[in-house]
Each structure stands twice: as C-alpha cells, then as structure tokens.
Structure 1
Amino acid sequence: MTYRSIAAHAVRLPARIAGLLACIIFGLSVIPAAQAAPAYEIYLDLPVLTGDGAGGGGLNPALPLDESTLRAALDQARADGVAPSRYATLLHQYWLVISTRNADIDLASWDPALGVHANQRTFSQVYVNYFRLANDHPEFWWAGLAGIAGGSFASGFFDLGDVGLVLDVPGIHQLGDAVADLLRDTPPELVAKVPADIRLLATEGSRLSAEDIAWYQTRLIIMQKHIFTDLVPMHEAYAALGMVGIDEMYAAGVIDADIRTAWQSIDSHTYDGYVDALIRMTDREQNQVIADQWDATSAGRGAMGRVLTYVSTVVGKPAVPGVRAPGVFAPATVNADIVGRTVSLRIPLPDFNWADRDTRWVYIMGDLAQRHIDMESNRPLAEVVLGESFWSKLAHGRMIARIPDLIADLTTQWQLG
C-alpha cells in the first residue's frame, strides 16, 4: 500500500486520527536505515588466551586463521582510525599467521597437548625457519642464535625420544649410575657439598621413565611455541614493513619499549646496533617469555623435572663456534676440611642448571652470546655456520653418540686435590 493510497483511506477517519497517522508514516519514511557494524568490530578488544604456547591454534579462538580475512579486518580498522590498542590481538594474530605460513607450519594443528609424534615435524621446522630468517636477513642476529643454540637442544629432544624407547641402554640411566659410582668413592665430607643437581642425578637418574621423558618433551614444545609466537611475528613485521610495522606493534601494546629499542638498533644498520638488539631479544626470550615456564618445568614430576633439566644442561653444548659446554664454562668444584686438611673436588659437570634463570643468564652473557657475536662479525664464518642445514647440525649433536665420551670425561676428570 503506497503513501497516496493510505492517505486516501485516511480521509474516512476522523481528521485528528488521520493527521496523526500521516505524520507517523511520513516520519518512518525519512528515518535513515541503520548502518551495519564494520566486519572487524567482532575482533576488537580480544584478549590473548593462548599466547604462552600451551594451547593449539592461534592467540584467541574468536580470531580466524585465514590471512586474507585478518588483513581485510586490519586494513578497515586502520582506515577507520581505530586505536591500535583495540586491535592488538588481531594485529598479533595476523603476523603470527604470516610467520607460520613462511615457516611452513600449520598453525591450526600446532598443539603441544597432542604429544611428541604429532608435533615432531613442527618442532624441527621452527629451527629450519630460524635459519631461513638469519640467512635472508643477516641483521637478524637473534634468529641465528635461536637456530644454532635452539637446534642444540633439539638434538637432545630427539635423543630423549630414543632413550625413551630403550631406557636400559646407554643414556640417562647410565649417566646417573656413573655419577653414583663416583660419589660412592668420594669422601662424605665432599659429597655433602656437591651441588644438589649432581647428587639428584646419581640417586634418581636410574628411576627415570618413558612417561617422564614424554612429559619433558611436551614442556619443551610448549616453550618453543611460546618463543616463536612472541618473537617471530615481530621479525616478519619488520621484514615486510620496516619500522612502520614495529611501531604499530608498539602502539598496540604487542611489544614493549625495550624491544622497540632493539628494532631501532637493528634499523641503525651498525655493529653496535646489532649487538644491542641481540642482547635485548635474548633477554626477552630467556628472562621474560619462558623464565616462569622453566621454573615450572624444573619443579615438575617430583624430582624428575630437576633431573631432566640438569641432563639437558650436561649434554646441551650449543653449536656456536668457540662456545664452551656448560660443564667446561662452570665446572662444579667443592672444598671440605678432612682430618685437618683442605681437600678439593673438581667435577666435570655443570655447577648450574639451565632451568635456573640467573645462572643461565650468566652462561649466556659470559660465553654463548659473546661467541655468537664473534661469529656474526666474521661474515664468511657466519655464512658457513648458518648455511649448514639444520638436519646436518642435528646429526652432529646426537646425545646418544656422545654418552660414552661424557662418561669417559667423568671417570678421568673427577679429580681430588
């Protein structure tokens, strides 16, 4: 029924009612249609729910994993002048999706809770990607260190899988038994002062089970995903947009002022800038991103969390040229008074546990980072080291092959003086 026909019918109504009806109809005809909410609105103000690496998929299940959908939402939010802090998780998710695409990782299925077998390819691919970033962008010194040092721990990851299948052959049991035998022949006054981790390896190492190892492997997968989720997206943002991409992440609150300074240092394209960025990014990784997770891991599964993190310290020599193994950098040395004489014991095992943030940082700054700086400063050497395939590095670091040498070192360098 048109307005004209309604008006014609209205003439038969009392004049007051007819006029009121006409006003209502006319008013409705000039009210503008409600505008549809922008598509990105459902993605605003979302919290990060799975940023610690423990969950599957992206940062929040309300966000899509499709790159084009995320990009369209971001572009519209930017065009509409939305404050970056409101689309922070959307922005982070976008660069995370870019990161996993470039790394050839399926973000949707990356879930540590699914266990070792389901994540084994992804675990390796993370390190392959660090080397890709370091080779494509020589200024990304942290990516090179993450690939080399992290790859050394990956060697232990695969070896733990082997040991988990054959716990009664040379492996953690044999290492613990060797330490126990040496402690039995050591004066009790000295044994009482031996670092607790070494005594724990001797008393508990032989009780380690396949279930303990599977739990530890899952803990490593969680921390690995946490580091990737935090640090790799900012590398991809800088690679694509330079400081524009970094400044947007800073404005959104995805990164803090310290890590923004690290990127400004990289953007200076100077030696001092690269060194500054390496230290700041390594500090973020070790002392912010995964520090609490290492604490929880070393305290997990009774004594076994501590045993496993210490074994990782014993065998985890990073493959950076010139770096010392933890047991060489900080060997355990104790002294005791025995019948009126001061007797010392030097043990060729680390005097610290990699899970402990303070002593871990001393090792990283005292040896690992400096040797990496030396390598990066020698571009021909860096190209050779970073250009070697991850799989070749993995083969060099196999723990099983090195167990006999470790035990030989124990028996020949366990020295009383």
Structure 2
Amino acid sequence: MPGAVHCQSPWVRTTTIRSVLVALLGVVVLAAPMPAVAHATGYESLLDITPANAAAESIGGLDPRLPTDSAALGAALASARADGVAATRYAALLQQYWLARGSEASGIDLAAWDPNAGLLANAAVVDRVYENYGRYQLQRAELYWSGMAGLAGGSFAAGFWDLDLGRTVLGVDAVHALGNAVASTVGGLPGEAMTLLPPDPRTLATVGPAMTAEDMDWYQKRLLMMQKHIYFDMVPMHEAYLNEGRAAVEEMAASGLLDENAEIAWNGIFSGTPAGNVDALFRMASREQNQIIADQWDVTAAARDGVGRALTYATTLAAQPSVPGSRAPGKVAPMSVTGDANGSHYRLRTPLPAFNWADREPRWQYIVSDIASSYQRLAEGRPGELRALLAIPFRDFVESQRVLRRVPDLARDMSTGWELSPAQP
C-alpha cells in the first residue's frame, strides 16, 4: 500500500546479495579471457595469410607478418594445431616454420636474405643453399631431387662467380668474347645464310659485344631470386620429411601447400622403392622448372630490349652441368636449320645450342633427357661416387666448375664447326 514500509526478511536479503554476487562473478568470468581464447591470441594474426613474398624476390621470408625465428613459429603452430585449426588456415605459417628450420640448419639468416643486394652480399648464402640440398641426400638416400640440385648447383654457383662484377669485369668480358666470336663467324657467312640463323644467336652477336656491367648485375639478381624461390618451395617439404617423416609431409599436403604432382612424388618416396625414388626425382624437377620459376625465366628473357635474351642464351651456350655424365646443351642439341635463301634450299649446321635455357619446353626436355637421367644413373649405379662428390667442400667443387676458365676454348669452338651446304631434297 502507498506509504507503507516493507521490511525484507534476512532470507530475502541473503538471496538478493547472493544473486548479485553470482551476476557479478558471471560478468567477471565472461570478461576474463578463457584459456582457449588466450591460446588463440598468440597465433590468430598468423592465420589465413597469402604470402606477399611467395616468389622470393624481396628480402626476408614468405611474408613480413610472419616471424623468421623457428621457435616463435613453432609455438604458434603448436597452438593452432592444439586448438583444432584447419591446416588450410595455417598453411603459410607451416611453410615458414619449416623454411626457418631449414635455413637455421643451413646457416642462412632468413630475415636478412635479400637477392636484390647482389652476389657479394649473398656469396655465403649461394653456397649454403646447395650445401643444404646435398645434406638432404647424404642423410636420406631416397631424396634424389635434392642430391641432383646439390650437384647441379656447382655449375650454377660457378656461373654466378663468372658473372661477378663486384670483384672483376671478367664476367662482362666473357660475354663480349662469346658475342664477338658468334658475331665474327656470322659476319663471315654468305648473305643467304644470315636468313637461316635463328633469333637467339643473332641477338647474342649484336647485343653481347655491347653488354654493360649494369646488365650483368641485373641478370645476377634475377638468378638469385630464382634460386631463393626454389629454396622457398623445396626446403620446407624436405626439412619436414627429414625431421618428422611422412606425417609432416602429409600435413603440408592437407594445408594445400602440395599439389597432386607433389603428393604423387612424395608417395613414391614413401613407397621405399627405387622406382618411387626415380619418379619423385622427375616430378620434383618438373615442379621446380615448370611451376616454381617458369614465369621468372619468361620475365628475365623478355627484359631489357634483348639483353635478357642474349644473356640467357649466352649462359646456355657456356653451360656444362656438373652432374657426371651430363653434356653441354650444344652437344645434346646442336643447332641445325634448313630453309630457302635466294631461291635455293640450304642446311646450316653450327656448334651453337639449338635452344635457350629460358624457354620452358626445350629446357625441360634437356633436363629430362640429360641432367636428370644422368643423375638417376649415378644414384642407382654409383652411389659411392655420388656420396664422395657431395662430400667435397662446396667452394672447392664450385671452383672446379668455373665456366670462365673455358671461355677462350668456348670462343674458339664458336668460331669453328659452321657448315652451310645445299640441303638434300
């Protein structure tokens, strides 16, 4: 009633106080982070990342949002796994983790790795990349691709030093010498033969003698980018397998990092059979050349008004793969062309390679028919020789592969072995 005073019983007051306390405690509990949420805050910013540096053309790892320290990456990865996060959401984190593990094992500072800094700044990195590939093969005999990459890297790294401009201009002089050799020979051909000569040797003959130090520096950096890109792709899966076996590779597949071709390659390795190892060798080589760096070769060859094309052809011409049994491109596929000139049918034979390494199809055919096949024979038939080669200190191995030592002979060879004759009907 109005004006009446109502007194609550002690029981009512106690119940009310208890209700308020429960409500307050509920607010506190809701406001306080639950263990699962606290767990998530350590890695949620590392999920669903599309790597900004996937092509490895910039400094650092896959993406600046990802740590480069394997301990930090591993902790975040463990939390994501424990919370049941889908592997597809932590794919970049997973790749960066194994990339960091491989880089630390190789002695490479992932955060500081910058292909745009040039060769001198990356000299140790170049060597350690290939030493690491050899490490995989030495520790696990079934990893054929990594062994081939380690051996082939000897001639590739030698090419870096032959192109080095920080210490010497001999890299430029070498291209000048090759360009002049081709130019002098081409200039001595009958006029009708000029129309038969494909574009690449003509470009080398005209652009090569005028090559500059800046051109060579640019080309070196392009090669350094491609080397890093292959490392970014191949090292995580190999490092995962080396440390945690099949389950780690299957996690990468579940995350979407491996396509069907790569999964088949690894299943071949898991089979424990020689045939599986060989199939993986060719599939991984295809992934490397036809998927990972194919676009970068296209861009490199098309750049700088003929300079890219001239340099990719010059390095094809000078190449001598360091896998025992493999042959130079000009030996595997010498240039021989036929065509009509001045009303007559001619055949022009040359000592030049009939393809440019930058071109996808012939590059792959050369790898399949020569380099990878030679490595297969070495791994299967002469494993002791293979292990001995991989055990050679890499810098010593590189010095034995220097193309620069062969430039005078190459230039002489480019001036001989040309033949123009009427083609048989």
TM-score for the superposition, normalised by structure 2? 0.89
In structure 2, relative to structure 1, the CA distance for the partners of 1:86 and 1:170 (3 Å cut) is closer
Question: Which residue of the partner structure matches residue 100 of structure 1?
Answer: 103
Offset of residue 210 of structure 1: 0.3
Offset of residue 174 of structure 1: 1.4
Q: Number of matched residues?
A: 404
Question: Which residue of the partner structure matches residue 386 of structure 1?
Answer: 390
Q: Say which SS state the counterpart of residue 358 (structure 2) adopts.
A: coil
| Paired residue type of 1:194 | L
Q: Does 1:297 align with 2:293?
A: no
CA distance in 1, matches of 2:307, 2:64: 34
Range 353-362 or range 117-126, more displaced:
117-126
CA distance in 1, matches of 2:53, 2:340: 53
> Cα deviations across residues 313-360 of structure 1 (Å, max 9, x unaligned)?
011211111111001111111224567764322111111100000110
Question: Which residue of the partner structure matches residue 53 of structure 2?
Answer: 50
Question: Which residue of the partner structure matches residue 74 of structure 1?
Answer: 77
Question: Which residue of the partner structure matches residue 158 of structure 1?
Answer: 161
Question: Which residue of the partner structure matches residue 416 of structure 1?
Answer: 420
CA distance in 2, matches of 1:373, 1:217: 30
In structure 2, relative to structure 1, the CA distance for the partners of 1:75 and 1:386 (3 Å cut) is same
Question: Which residue of the partner structure matches residue 240 of structure 2?
Answer: 237
RMSD: 2.3
Question: Which residue of the partner structure matches residue 404 of structure 2?
Answer: 400
In structure 2, relative to structure 1, the CA distance for the partners of 1:312 and 1:169 (3 Å cut) is closer
Q: Does 1:37 align with 2:38?
A: yes
Offset of residue 414 of structure 1: 1.9
CA distance in 2, matches of 1:84, 1:336: 57
CA distance in 2, matches of 1:34, 1:407: 73
| Paired residue type of 1:81 | G
Which of 121, 124, 145 is the equivalent residue of 1:121? 124
Note if contact 1:167-1:209 (Cα within 8 Å) is conserved in structure 2. no
Note if contact 1:189-1:336 (Cα within 8 Å) is conserved in structure 2. no
In structure 2, relative to structure 1, the CA distance for the partners of 1:247 and 1:168 (3 Å cut) is closer
Offset of residue 133 of structure 1: 1.6
Q: Say which SS state the counterpart of residue 335 (structure 2) adopts.
A: strand
Offset of residue 151 of structure 1: 2.2
| Paired residue type of 1:357 | R
Offset of residue 199 of structure 1: 0.5
Offset of residue 237 of structure 1: 0.5
Note if contact 2:196-2:348 (Cα within 8 Å) is conserved in structure 1. no
> Cα deviations across residues 71-127 of structure 1 (Å, max 9, x unaligned)?
122112112211111111111111000010111101011011222222121112111
Question: Which residue of the partner structure matches residue 369 of structure 2?
Answer: 366
Which of 16, 23, 27 is the equivalent residue of 1:27? 23
Which of 311, 315, 321 is the equivalent residue of 1:312? 315
CA distance in 1, matches of 2:171, 2:322: 28
Note if contact 1:164-1:213 (Cα within 8 Å) is conserved in structure 2. no
Give the unaligned 5+ runs of structure 2.
1-6, 9-14
- Percent same amino acid at aligned positions? 45
Q: Does 1:90 align with 2:93?
A: yes
Which of 190, 206, 209 is the equivalent residue of 1:203? 206
Note if contact 2:130-2:153 (Cα within 8 Å) is conserved in structure 1. yes
| Paired residue type of 1:367 | D
TM-score for the superposition, normalised by structure 1? 0.91
| Paired residue type of 1:125 | R
| Paired residue type of 1:387 | A
Note if contact 2:165-2:216 (Cα within 8 Å) is conserved in structure 1. no
Q: Say which SS state the counterpart of residue 38 (structure 2) adopts.
A: coil
Offset of residue 167 of structure 1: 5.4
CA distance in 2, matches of 1:197, 1:362: 18
Question: Which residue of the partner structure matches residue 140 of structure 1?
Answer: 143
Note if contact 1:167-1:210 (Cα within 8 Å) is conserved in structure 2. no
CA distance in 1, matches of 2:108, 2:102: 9
CA distance in 1, matches of 2:249, 2:60: 23
Question: Which residue of the partner structure matches residue 8 of structure 1?
Answer: none
| Paired residue type of 2:414 | L
